[in-house]
Amino acid sequence: MNSSRAAYDLRSFAAFLEEHGELVRISKEVERQYELPALLEQLEQQHKAFIFDNIKGASFPLIGGLLNSTTRLGQAIGNDISVPYDHRNHAAAYGAASENPVAHIEVETGPVKDVVITGDDIDLADLPVPTFFELDSGAFITGAVGISQDQSDNRLNMGFYRSLITGKDTLVINASSMSDLRQIYATAEESGVAMPIALAIGVPPALLMAASGKTPPGLSELDLAGGLMGQAVEMVKCETSNLLVPAIAEIVIEGVVDFTNKVENTLGEFAGQYGPETAPTTRVTAITHRKNAMYYSIMAGRNPEHNTIGAISTYGMQRVIAGNLCEQFLNIKDINIACEPKLGAMLHIFISIDKQNDAEPRKLLEAAFAATAGIFPVSMIVKRIVIVDDDIDVYNLEEVEWAIWTRLSTVDKIMTIANVKSWELERCVNENMESARVGIDGTMDMNAVDKLIKPVIPGCENVRLEDYLD
Ligand SMILES: Cc1cc2nc3c(=O)[nH]c(=O)nc-3n(C[C@H](O)[C@H](O)[C@H](O)COP(=O)(O)O)c2cc1C
């Protein structure tokens, strides 16, 4: 995979996708509540990018679907995609960027300052923010990256935070218990010093990738994005605070957090369930935007773009677990940590081994559930671990399923663990935030190997149908 060209910003990537027939433009007028999400969901399932030019009552078009496949992740950072590109490829690019970050720089001004709106002119209703599902608390901004500064060390922090619009100039920026923002909120609330915050909407795809999860200690998400882009992210100062925001963002919402006004709110989330959250209100102090700005949105609920970007946050965990387990179990062949809409909010780990005896898979299941992945135990966010033989491609869910249902001979190959500490995104937890975990030994029993061999065509990986078609 060679990086033959520079990474794209939002507009150039949209233009590239449109040129290649992968972006759908819709100019018919659309209601932002329910009608728009109904269309977004269909476009997402087709893995199409989209621009809606005419959303009723809004002053901006809506763009999305840019990163709804792993191929797009590679394309967006400038790879020539002539062979399949999956999370393994992207993890390598992400790892290289983490090792070669490019420090962000502050510049005087940038496109995001083309238009500056303050005071009474601020009206969040101008943005085409969808109301996605029946029981949602209202319209949610989903594709913004939130930028805040840790008062304890002045570090700039970036992440995705679903934000509910509650008024003309108020919104609620949600921070999960795992986010650094939750900690930053707590420090600011305790100190009593005003906390500025900003939402940057329509940023270059590399920033979306960097915002998805936790960076290694000491590495700023912005500098990781610089590493992915091969150039420094240019930042400009906000109009109403000293926070820095990406100069090339389409739209920036600046605000100050009001901890006296916390709001419970609900959104249909990527888990495919409603997720109630409580977070402080942010009072909007300015909106700045580019000329002809586009509003970037990620379809809420169980849809590919969220999980494609979200899976990036598992790369660090993948490295730690792989390192940890491969040291103990020398015959591990491959490990996939899957983050898929069809598997819900929790992660699933698939491990292939060159099994030497029937006791091995159980030992491996126990070790894998007991491992830690950075700051938290694997068991906290992993629902199921499946061990398969090394003839199974752990990146192919269909093969893993096939292995389970053809090789699961006895009940003792299923391991269940009760009352495991979970996190709030798993909605079936009990009052102590605990739930069940499942381990499955989907390997062939040693005495049945001859009966359970998978039929393969020798050399088929070197025979490509394309080479035979006129
Ligand atoms: C599309 C998308 C939406 C997300 N929404 C939220 C959210 O509403 N709240 C949250 O805390 N994390 C959310 N996350 C996960 C955060 O990006 C992740 O927790 C990140 O580490 C937060 O950054 P921080 O830890 O630097 O604060 C979302 C991730 C993605 C990919």
For residue 3, name the pLDDT band (cuts at 50, 70, 90): very low
Taking the centre of ligand 1 as the mean of its atom positions, its distance from the CA of residue 378, in whole angstroms, is 18
pLDDT at 187 over 50: yes
What average pLDDT score do residues 94-107 get? 96
Is the beta carbon of 155 within 6 A of some atom in ligand 1? no
pLDDT at 375 over 90: no
pLDDT at 249 over 80: yes
pLDDT digits (tens, 9 = 90+) for 33-86: 999 999 999 999 999 999 999 999 999 999 999 999 999 999 999 987 777 899
Taking the centre of ligand 1 as the mean of its atom positions, its distance from the CA of residue 212, in whole angstroms, is 6
pLDDT at 439 over 80: yes
With the most atoms of ligand 1 within 8 angstroms of its CB, the residue from 160, 199, 303 to mutate is: 160
What is the C-alpha to C-alpha distance for residues 84 and 72, in angstroms, rounded to an integer?
A: 11
Lowest-pLDDT range of 104-108, 132-136, 175-179: 175-179
What is the C-alpha to C-alpha distance for residues 377 and 372, in angstroms, rounded to an integer?
A: 4
pLDDT at 384 over 80: yes
Nearest-atom number in ligand 1 for the CA of 143 is 1
CATH among 1.10.3720.10, 1.10.8.60, 3.30.379.10, 2.30.110.10 for 10-297: 2.30.110.10
**What CATH number should be reported for the domain whose range is 313-451?**
3.40.1670.10
Strand blocks (E) in 91-208? 105-106, 115-118, 140-141, 145-149, 156-160, 163-167, 170-173, 196-201
pLDDT for residue 4? 52
Decide if 360 contacts 329 (C-beta within 8 A). yes
Beta bridge partners of 220: none
User: What sign for the dihedral angle of Cα 404, 408, 413, 414?
Assistant: positive
pLDDT at 108 over 80: yes
pLDDT for residue 1? 42
Taking the centre of ligand 1 as the mean of its atom positions, its distance from the CA of residue 159, in whole angstroms, is 5
Burial tier of 340 (Cβ tally within 10 Å: 0-12, 13-18, 19+): middle
For residue 151, name the pLDDT band (cuts at 50, 70, 90): confident
Neighbours of 291 (CB within 10 A): 7
What average pLDDT score do residues 443-456 get? 92
Q: Which amino acid is at 72?
A: R
pLDDT digits (tens, 9 = 90+) for 267-318: 999 888 998 999 999 999 999 999 999 999 999 999 999 999 999 998 988 8
Is the beta carbon of 299 within 6 A of some atom in ligand 1? no
Of 369, 387, 443, 450, the closest CA to residue 410 belongs to 443
With the most atoms of ligand 1 within 8 angstroms of its CB, the residue from 73, 157, 176 to mutate is: 176
Nearest-atom number in ligand 1 for the CA of 310 is 31
Taking the centre of ligand 1 as the mean of its atom positions, its distance from the CA of residue 55, in whole angstroms, is 27
pLDDT at 95 over 70: yes
Burial tier of 95 (Cβ tally within 10 Å: 0-12, 13-18, 19+): middle
Q: Go through 172-193 and write b for each residue having 16 or more CB atoms within 10 A of its CB, e for each that does not.
A: bbbbbebbbbeebbeebeeeee
pLDDT for residue 470? 80
Residue with tokens 């621009």: 51
User: Looking at the chain, which residues constitute the CATH 3.40.1670.10 domain(s)?
Assistant: 313-451
Taking the centre of ligand 1 as the mean of its atom positions, its distance from the CA of residue 407, in whole angstroms, is 38
Taking the centre of ligand 1 as the mean of its atom positions, its distance from the CA of residue 297, in whole angstroms, is 14
For residue 23, name the pLDDT band (cuts at 50, 70, 90): very high
> Of all protein residues, whose CA lies closest to atom 22 belonging to ligand 1?
159
What average pLDDT score do residues 8-27 get? 96
User: Looking at the chain, which residues constitute the CATH 2.30.110.10 domain(s)?
Assistant: 10-297
Question: Residues near 246 by Cβ (< 8 Å), separated by ≥ 6?
Answer: 110, 112, 200, 203, 204, 207, 233, 234, 235, 236, 252
